[in-house]
Amino acid sequence: MAELSPTSSRESGSSDASLARRGCPVHELKDRLRLVGLRPTRQRISLGWLLFAKGDRHITAEMLFEEAMRARVPVSLATVYNTLHQFTEAGLLRQLAVDGSKSYFDTNVTEHHHFFVEGDEQLIDVPVDIAVGALPVPPVGMEIARVDVIVRLRKAA
Ligand SMILES: [Zn+2]
């Protein structure tokens, strides 16, 4: 758990206790979990730390499970799945179904589209807005929640 020590507050050079507290990533994570109605359990904090401390990323349950093992976070793959889905329902993550067998979770929940590098199984954010053509009219009583575009890439011949 040594990795959970706040480094950002030290960098700020502030001696003010409340400021240092506000700059603590674990404290911020706890607040973030509470804000969306999730109790900040030890497992949620550990997994949340692995997920959110490295900037925007795309990760599968298996990838996060492996990271948790390496960081000696005692969780099962089932717990990782559950936590990812709880985070997604709470709006902390965005789930992307790339193909039938694999779900990626995006820590960037703002609207954006993706490249998917086939073979490398890698998702990359599309840095520009994509003009999505004429969308179909949804059935009565429904509205379009969002449009996810995945542009599949392969090595140019
Ligand atoms: Zn993304």
At 54-102, the pLDDT tens digits run 889 999 999 999 999 999 999 999 999 999 999 999 999 999 988 777 8
In a domain, 8, yes or no: no
In Å, what is the CA distance from 128 to each residue of 30, 33, 109, 115, 124? 33, 30, 16, 11, 12
Q: How far is the CA of 153 from the centre of ligand 1 (A)?
A: 15
In a domain, 13, yes or no: no
Find the CATH number of the domain harbouring 108: 1.10.10.10
Q: How far is the CA of 60 from the centre of ligand 1 (A)?
A: 13
pLDDT band at 111, cuts 50/70/90?
Answer: confident
Query: Structural domain of residue 68, as residue ranges?
Result: 18-153
Q: How far is the CA of 64 from the centre of ligand 1 (A)?
A: 16
Distance of CA 10 to the CA centre of its chain: 26
User: Which residue has better confidence, 10 or 137?
Assistant: 137
In Å, what is the CA distance from 83 to each residue of 20, 54, 68, 97? 28, 18, 13, 17
In a domain, 78, yes or no: yes
Residue 104 has pLDDT above 90, yes or no: yes
Beta pairing, strands 150-153 & 114-117: parallel
Strand partners, 94: 106
Percent of the chain residues topping a pLDDT of 70: 85
At 31-58, the pLDDT tens digits run 999 999 999 999 999 999 999 988 899 9
Are the CB atoms for 150 and 116 separated by under 8 Å?
yes
**Residue whose structure tokens are 């599968």:** 60
Q: How far is the CA of 107 from the centre of ligand 1 (A)?
A: 7
